[in-house]
Chains A and B, each alone.
Chain A
């Protein structure tokens, strides 16, 4: 895990160093026609092809503003139907739904409602992570099913947009092994009742061409077959858009992940093709 995490952090440092310090123009002009050079990596339907298989995902981002409090907004990120399949008997991983909701406000605070309510200020945003329906096929007829995963998050970076995030918090997780042959039978369960922590570092360049993300989960989990045991997993990814065809970006991706439960470290490299995307609001073809 250490090597993977260090490599991921080094990659992230390179990305951050590459982030331009000032806002760039988001369109360029050729032959009288403008074309975009900024992209929104959070609103897209994409397919991927890489060393770990073929896949796809729908990503959506949404910001909720409040007219009477301009300093407050909810940043909602949804990922729906994310799947990667290597074909054959192994290597299918999918997530039905993953949502990350962060409440950004200029002044964080804690309210104590006893007697006259008191307000104590806190230097972070808060939010939550929700994941339901993660499936990983381990072999013919055997799966790991993540029924639910949820975390309370505090975001120390407190960015107003989606481009930067340093979120940490306790995490709860419930997973079960499933055998599908000859019939669907649930096997041993793994439950972490907020007995683990998660840290997530995310950064995007201002033009959306580069995206990096590192997530580390570590703590203890309880299993029906072995009681309490240490449990850790780490995942890092780096994505860089290298070209666009008809204004639809194609990105190169590298990633790595590690889990103590399987003691497997897997690295991957591949490409992402965006089929549909939300236009970056800074891009105007006119």
Chain B
């Protein structure tokens, strides 16, 4: 409270004290003027000539006692044009204490200190740990377990109407019982087509045009690995390479969020202690939803439904030549705080899996729930539309 009161005295406007929590903030996109007071201190001023209101704020960060400290961080340049406060006041302008401008994705507290309040979790390095109770339908007393997950680089790059998505070394490890999955590299792209694939004109009644736009993209993955420890030993599933065609059923305006269907083929090899090593060609399809629920990127929802049909080149024991894997996963991630502008998020996830490709894993639905924390590095503010 003291800091703005000092400000009032300094530029001698003489307005009453106001509550600090909701001080209005200067707009980044509008010009800011700088002026010195009689004591030589610099103030930032932004006037709205429609409402005849001028916001003013110190050009330095303020200490707890209101003393000026270092210059404001991330404030835009201001001009030192002659500033005639008396003339503006005579013209009916009101001077109101405010907060200095901040870049997109940042704000300031009442002392002028800047901090990030908008995060893009699709540009980050992350790692986290979670508590994962697991329940198998016929064995409800299955032991609880812990897990960790990581992504050494998650990067979305938007280029006009194309979104490139890159993931490197992303995966997770579950303990007790042990299982893990890892992907070395994944790349996919979504594109927004302007020209429709089909134009259908109807002539019943008033002629009308109906466009059928297919936003087709691609999805690739190399170096996937799944490890499972079962009652019949260890099993390794090497997903050498997968390529799919994607069809975006819905895209957000910034292409960051989507609902899509993808289908394609993969080549994999499986080694277990029962049947040895077997290669397979895998037909796979998935329905995928990835959506950021709010403008500031705090709430993120992801759903994935996968169906995979490995066809082995050589019969694999009792499984034969054809196996089946079905997976579903729902994940919600919310940022709970940020340390030095690096977000710490809460992850809640649930999933189910049914498969008959790995000897020793029960051929029935198994369900998993996750609750944990993730720490992200980088996570810059989300792009403007």
* Residues of chain A having any CB pair with chain B under 8 Å: 66, 68-72, 101, 103, 105-113, 116-119, 122, 125-128, 130, 132, 147-148, 150, 152, 172, 174, 176, 183, 185-187, 189, 191, 193-194, 222, 224
Contacts and interface: CB of A to CB of B under 8 A. Distances in A.
A239 B180 CA distance: 39
A107 B173 contact: no
Interface stretch (B108-116, B159-167, B257-265): B108-116
A97 to B, nearest CB: 9
Interface residues of B, number: 48
Contacts of A127: 377
Given A112-B337, A148-B171, 11 more contacts: A68-B76, A103-B341, A106-B70, A111-B117, A111-B341, A113-B335, A119-B115, A128-B127, A150-B152, A185-B271, A193-B146
B243 to A, nearest CB: 24
A174 B173 CA distance: 8
Nearest to B170: A148
Contacts of A109: 113, 115, 339-341
A126 B339 contact: yes
14 contacts: A103-B340, A110-B339, A110-B340, A111-B115, A116-B22, A117-B117, A118-B109, A147-B182, A172-B127, A172-B129, A186-B236, A189-B227, A193-B129, A193-B175
B152 A152 contact: no
A172 B339 contact: no
A196 to B, nearest CB: 12
Contact of A113 (B76, B129, B146, B298): B298
A71 B227 CA distance: 45
Interface string B92-120: 00000000000100010100011111000
A68 B75 CA distance: 7
A113 B21 CA distance: 14
Interface string B374-385: 010100000000
Contacts of B22: 116
A193 B148 contact: yes
A187 B341 CA distance: 40
B241 interface: no
Identify which of B148, B169, B176, B335 gathers the most chain A CB atoms within 10 Å of its CB.
Answer: B148
Contact of A189 (B76, B117, B146, B178): B178
B325 interface: no
Contacts of B338: 110-111, 113
B69 to A, nearest CB: 10
Interface of B: 21-22, 70, 73-76, 103, 107, 109, 113-117, 125, 127, 129, 146-148, 150, 152, 169, 171, 173, 175-176, 178, 180, 182, 227, 229, 234, 236, 271, 277, 298, 335-342, 375, 377
A260 B24 CA distance: 58
A108 B342 CA distance: 11
A224 B180 CA distance: 12
Given A148-B150, A185-B271, A126 B178 contact: no
B172 to A, nearest CB: 9
A125 to B, nearest CB: 7
Contacts of A117: 107, 109, 115, 117
A60 to B, nearest CB: 16
Contacts of A108: 339-340
Contacts of A71: 70, 73
B19 to A, nearest CB: 11
Nearest to A152: B375
Contacts of A183: 271, 277
Given A113-B298, A148-B150, A172-B148, A191 B339 contact: no
A109 B114 CA distance: 10
Contact of B73 (A72, A122, A152, A224): A72
Contacts of A174: 148, 173, 180
Contacts of B147: 193
Contacts of A148: 150, 152, 169, 171, 182
A222 B234 CA distance: 17
Contacts of A126: 339-340, 342
Given A107-B113, A110-B337, A183-B277, A68 B74 contact: yes
Nearest first, the 5 A-B pairs at minimum CB distance are A193-B148, A111-B338, A150-B127, A68-B74, A194-B129
A70 B182 CA distance: 38
A224 B235 CA distance: 13
Contacts of B146: 193, 222
Contacts of A116: 21-22
B175 A222 contact: yes
A193 B370 CA distance: 14
A122 B70 contact: no
Contact of B125 (A72, A101, A222): A101
A101 B173 contact: no
Nearest to A132: B169
A191 B173 contact: yes
A43 to B, nearest CB: 22
A107 B178 CA distance: 42
A160 to B, nearest CB: 15
Contacts of B113: 107, 109, 119
A130 B342 contact: no
Nearest to B61: A107
A113 B337 contact: yes
A148 B223 CA distance: 14
A61 B125 CA distance: 18
Contact of A101 (B75, B129, B178, B377): B377
Nearest to A129: B127
A189 to B, nearest CB: 6
Contacts of A132: 152, 169
Nearest to A221: B175
